[in-house]
Amino acid sequence: MNQYMEQCEKYVLHTYNRFPIVIESGQGVYLKDTDGKEYLDFGAGIAVYALGYHYPGFDEALKEQIDKIMHTSNLYYNVPLGGAAEKLAAVSGMSRVFFTNSGTEAIEGAIKAARKYAYLKDNKTDHEIIAMNHSFHGRSIGALSVTGNMHYQEAFRPLMGGVKFADYNNLESVKSQITDRTCAIIMETVQGEGGIYPADDTFIKEIGKICGEKDILLILDEIQCGMGRTGSMFAWQQYGVRPDIMTCAKAIGCGVPVGAFILNEKVAEASLVPGDHGTTYGGNPFACAAVSRVLDIFEKDQIVEHVKQIAPYLERKLDELVERYDCLAGRRGKGLMQGIVMAEGTKVGDVVTAALQKGLITISAGSNVLRLVPPLIIEEKHVDEMVEKLDAVLKEMCRDK
C-alpha cells in the first residue's frame, strides 16, 4: 500500500489530499483496498457507480466493444453512438445529445449552445448568464466561471465574462439579476458539492416560467443528481419543469468517463452547427456502449423504481441518527442523494475519516455536510450496515441529545 501511495505522491500533481487507502477492486456495493480490507461504499466514486461494481451484463458490453473498436473520431459514424443518444433522448424527453468526456465539458458545451442561441436572435455578443451561489459546475474555465465558489475562482481570474450570481432558492435574488441581455440561467436541480440543497418546488417552477416568458434558456445541471439518483431519471422530472439544456455525466457511464449535454428541440434547431463545437473522444464507441448498456439496465431492472422504494428507508434511518446525536443538526436530500448536516463544532472531515477506518466510505460536501450517494442498487441490509458503522463512529464523537 505504501509503495503505491509514495509513487503517487512523488509523480502525480498534488491537487488532492487523498485518504490513505489504495483501492484495488470492487464488487457490488463493496470496495477492497490493497491490504484486503473491505469498505461499504456510500460514495460510489462521487455518485458515479450507480449500478455498483460488476453489475451483471455491464462489463460484458464493455468487453464486447473493446474487442470491436474503442475509438473512431467524430469524422465517421460509429455503431453505438446513435443508440446511446436515442435512449438518452427517450428518458429525458429532449431532442439532441452531444457526448463529452466529463461533466465540466458538458457545461462548456451548454454555455456555448446558450450563447449561440442568443447570438442568432440578436447578433449581439454581450449576453449574460445567471448562475447560483454555492453551485458547482466543474473546473475548466467556463464551468468555473459559473461555479459560485469564490475560493475556487480567485487565483484563476480573469474568468469568462458576463456571469452574474444569485442566491439559490431565492426567486427575488434571481429576478434582480435578469436584464435584457440574460441568455441563460444555470443551476443544479439539487446542489451537490455545495452541501446537498434540493431546489424548492416554487423556486424552480417560477424560474421555469420566467425563462419561458422571456426566452431565457434554463440550463439544469443533472451531472450529480441525475440518472435515477433522486427517485426519477432526472431530478427535474419531479418538479414539473423542463430544461432547455441539460447536462449529464457521472453515473451515465457508471465508471467509463462520459458526459453529455442535451438540447430541447428549440435550442437544437437554432444553436450549434458544424464547425461550432467538437471533441476528439466524445461519443466514441466505447463510451457510448457503456451509456447504452447502462440505460438498458436501468429500464430492464427498474433501477429508478428501486430508488423510490429504498430511499424512504434510508431517510428514516438517517433521521433516527439525527434525532439521537447532538453533533448532527439535520438532514437534507432527495432519494439516494442525502446530506447530514453537522452541528457546530463537529468537523465533517473527522467523521469521514473515522467512518473510513470502520470500513464505510462517505464524502463531505460544503463545509459541514456528510454526503451519502451510494450505488442505486443498495438494499435495506446495506442501509442497516451503514447505520451500524456510522453509529459506532458517532458514539465515540458525540453525545446523546
Ligand X SMILES: *Cc1c(COP(=O)(O)O)cnc(C)c1O
The residue ranges that bind ligand X (CB under 6 A) are 102-104, 107, 136-138, 188, 192-193, 221, 223-224, 249-250
C-beta of 45 vs 208, nearer to ligand X: 45
* Residue labelled with grid coordinates 439535520: 330
Residue 281 vs 325, nearer CB to ligand X: 281
328 or 333: CB nearest ligand X: 333
Residue with smaller CB distance to ligand X, 42 or 136: 136
AA letter at 209 = K
Kindly tell me which of 65 and 224 has the beta carbon lying closer to ligand X. 224
- 38-41 and 360-361 as β-strands: parallel, antiparallel, unpaired? parallel
> Which grid cell sits at 329?
443538526
The nearer residue to ligand X, 261 or 325, going by C-beta atoms, is: 261
Q: In what order do the strands lie in the sheet with 38-41?
A: 23-27, 30-33, 38-41, 360-361
Least distance between ligand X and beta carbon 107 (Å): 6
* Shortest Cβ 224–ligand X spacing (Å): 3
What gap in Å lies between CA 259 and CA 256, rounded to an integer?
Answer: 9
d(CA 292, CA 85): 8
Q: Which is nearer to ligand X, 102 or 284 (CB)?
A: 102
Smallest gap from Cβ 257 to ligand X, in A, equals 7
From the CB of 192, what's the least distance to ligand X, in Å?
4
Residue with smallest beta-carbon separation from ligand X: 103
DSSP 8-state assignment for residue 252: G
Nearer to ligand X, 32 or 332 (CB): 332
- Quote the least distance from Cβ 96 to ligand X, whole Å: 20
| Helices of type H across 93-170 | 103-122, 141-145, 150-153
Return the half-sphere exposure (C-beta side, CA atoms, 13 A cut-off) of residue 236: 25
Contact of 390 with 320, CB cutoff 8 Å: no
- 3-state SS class at 343: coil
Cα angle, residue 95 at apex, residues 279 and 273 outer, rounded to 5°: 45
Cα(230)–Cα(189) distance, integer angstroms: 10
Of 84 and 223, nearer to ligand X (C-beta) is 223
Shortest distance, CB of residue 396 to ligand X, whole angstroms? 31
Work out how close the CB of 360 gets to ligand X at its nearest, in angstroms, rounded to a whole number: 21
What's the min distance (Å) between Cβ of 29 and ligand X?
Answer: 20
CB of 248 to ligand X, least distance (A): 10
User: Which residues, including other chains, have CB under 8 Å from residue 281's CB and lie 6 or more apart?
Assistant: 71, 101, 287
Whether 71 and 278 have beta carbons less than 8 Å apart is answered as no
User: Residue 285: is the preceding peptide bond cis (ω within 30°)?
Assistant: no
- State the DSSP H helix or E strand holding residue 61, giving kind and residue range, or none if neither: helix 58-68
- Grid-cell match 457507480, residue found: 49
